[in-house]
Amino acid sequence: MRQYRPGAFFATVNPTVFIASAIMVLAFVGFGVTFPATASQVFEGIQGFITEYLGWGYLLAVTVFLVFLIWLAFSRYGSIRLGQPDDRPEFGYGAWFAMLFSAGMGIGLVFWSVAEPILHYQHPPTGEGETVEAARQAMVYTFFHWGLHAWAVYVVLGLSVAYFSFRHRLPLTIRSIFYPLLGDRIYGPIGHVIDILAVFGTLFGLATSLGFGAMQLNTGLNVLFDLPVSHWYQVGIIAGITLVAVFSVLSGLDRGLKWVSVFNLGLAVVFMLFVLFAGPTLFILRFLLDSTGTYLQQLVEMSLHADAIGGSQWQKDWTMFYWAWWIAWSPFVGIFIARISRGRTIREFIFGVLALPSLFVFAWMAIFGGSALHMELFDENAGIAAAVAEDTTVALYAMLAQLPWTTLASGVATLLIATYFITSSASGTYVIDALISRGSKHSPKRQRVIWGITEGAVAATLLIVGGERALDSLQTGSLTAGLPVAIILGFCCFSLTRALRREYRVEGVNPPWG
């Protein structure tokens, strides 16, 4: 491998991936902010074509990923370690779970914990809205969209990257997954295309999330301090979050990001317990059991329900959109989870990243979404559904307004949103830096600073010039990356199985590519 002069600026950068990624970023941002209406139409047209004609493939693929992981966890390969035989985990269970959860979907849970169940309650996939049955199904579908299937997408990619990187000393990038199939050709044009695609999905996914999250954070500050809701205040919020995230990245994984993630998880648990006991506690506990039982009963049906007869737009707007989003988001989350999972066994990785987060998600959604649904069902003056219909960013605050200590609870919610944004931005910066730097874990810190600032700059530019519509169009555009990534995930399953079988046949001997 070529040696680089120590201290040279961007010494470890892969120039092909860097230049191509930079051109794509400038082109898409320029298109989105200059012609937001046209961009929206183009990207929505592409996404509409994918969901209409290929949505069934998404449903099948994500279900196959889940089945594959369940088989793998209980197979003879489950005891194989992600690393060398004497490697042990770098992070304890608590810090590991906190970091993977913060990167995976922490901020999304805060945003959608009330909004999604209420929206399903108002507009269910079948039957009339705002009924008891609609409330039951609202929580089941929320579990479905945020539970096992979502995490399975992350696990497939993260497990594959971790195995080939730590077990066989290949770069910590997606291209390494293809080494058993392509050999040294992964270092050529094919590998470059794969990493460029991952950079594209990661950067724009983070930028759009930062933009939408800044809107919710602006709403929270408006509730707490009467701060005006405007794009310029949201740009200021993005700048503040980006600044703190950059400092977190500079302090390293084992200090800044680790401790912010642990703080996030602790604060989230305290917040969750407060809502549980301040809200309709008995109803929440029963609702959690009811919803979990119904979810498990309907899991196979929902997993393969393509609605061939009805052709429901609801499924395209929700389930297929979510599957495309998790898939497009998987390069970022998968690589980051792989980065923090060296030394764990395959079985430990699958249960830790698939089962435990899903259980936490079910509890979180049942507590927050269940409280909101209870208020709508049994309190005529709650007004949560009306508030959500008008503006989804106020959903959580509208629910908290019905509980005691509203101001304190809203303050905690706003702090949690902010800290989750910090961890999302920081972990995304680590991933983009690794992809640009040939998988290096010791690239110059200035590179991470530049990529962290770039994420915030893209989000701020879209907000200033194009507003929410520009963010919407770019988010839809980034989802188109989900299609080739879905193909990559399929290769993950094939390549990982092939490698594990070969390793198991020659016990104690690494495969030829090791």
Structural domains of the chain, with CATH: 15-505 (1.20.1740.10)
- Please compute the mean of the pLDDT values over residues 295-302 and round it to a whole number: 96
pLDDT score of 511 more than 60: no
Q: Which pLDDT score is estimated for 34?
A: 78
- Please compute the mean of the pLDDT values over residues 478-486 and round it to a whole number: 77
pLDDT score of 8 more than 60: no
Q: Which pLDDT score is estimated for 371?
A: 97
Token duo for residue 155? 């696990």
pLDDT score of 1 more than 50: no
SS3 41: helix
pLDDT score of 148 more than 80: yes
Assess contact for 461 and 253: CB atoms under 8 A.
Answer: no
> Per mean pLDDT, which of 63-67, 218-222, 322-326, 449-453 is the most reliable?
63-67
- Please compute the mean of the pLDDT values over residues 410-432 and round it to a whole number: 86
Lowest mean pLDDT among 263-267, 270-274, 326-330: 326-330
Pairwise CA distance, residues 329 & 163, whole Å: 20
pTM: 0.91
pLDDT score of 144 more than 90: yes
Pairwise CA distance, residues 299 & 36, whole Å: 39
Half-sphere CA count of 332, side-chain side, radius 13 A:
31
Identify residue 332 by its one-letter amino acid code: F
- Please compute the mean of the pLDDT values over residues 231-257 and round it to a whole number: 83
Q: Which pLDDT score is estimated for 6?
A: 44
pLDDT score of 5 more than 70: no
Q: How would residue 71 be classed by pLDDT, with cut points 50, 70 and 90?
A: very high
Assess contact for 147 and 141: CB atoms under 8 A.
Answer: no
- Please compute the mean of the pLDDT values over residues 362-384 and round it to a whole number: 93
Pairwise CA distance, residues 451 & 432, whole Å: 7
Assess contact for 21 and 196: CB atoms under 8 A.
Answer: yes
Q: How would residue 442 be classed by pLDDT, with cut points 50, 70 and 90?
A: low
Count of CB atoms situated within 10 Å of the CB of 65: 26
Pairwise CA distance, residues 256 & 266, whole Å: 16
In the DSSP assignment, the letter for residue 164 is I
User: Which tens digits make up the pLDDT trace of 460-475?
Assistant: 877 777 666 666 666 6
Length of the chain in terms of residues written: 514
Q: Which pLDDT score is estimated for 11?
A: 62
Per cent of the chain over pLDDT 70 is: 92
User: Which tens digits make up the pLDDT trace of 166-181?
Assistant: 998 899 899 999 998 8
> Per mean pLDDT, which of 25-29, 164-168, 253-257, 306-310 is the most reliable?
164-168
Per cent of the chain over pLDDT 90 is: 41
> Radius of gyration (Cα) for the chain, nearest Å?
22
Phi-psi region of 507 (alpha: psi -120 to 50; beta: other; left: phi over 0): beta
Assess contact for 62 and 323: CB atoms under 8 A.
Answer: yes
Q: Which pLDDT score is estimated for 467?
A: 67
Choose between 432 and 2: higher pLDDT. Answer: 432
Q: Which pLDDT score is estimated for 368?
A: 97
Instruction: Report which secondary-structure segment, H or E, holds 389.
Output: helix 384-390
Mean pLDDT of the chain: 86
Q: Which pLDDT score is estimated for 461?
A: 79
Residue 81: φ, ψ to 5°? -90, 140
- Please compute the mean of the pLDDT values over residues 25-39 and round it to a whole number: 78
Assess contact for 466 and 207: CB atoms under 8 A.
Answer: no
Assess contact for 267 and 419: CB atoms under 8 A.
Answer: yes
pLDDT score of 239 more than 70: yes
136, burial (CB in 10 Å: exposed 0-12, middle 13-18, buried 19+): middle
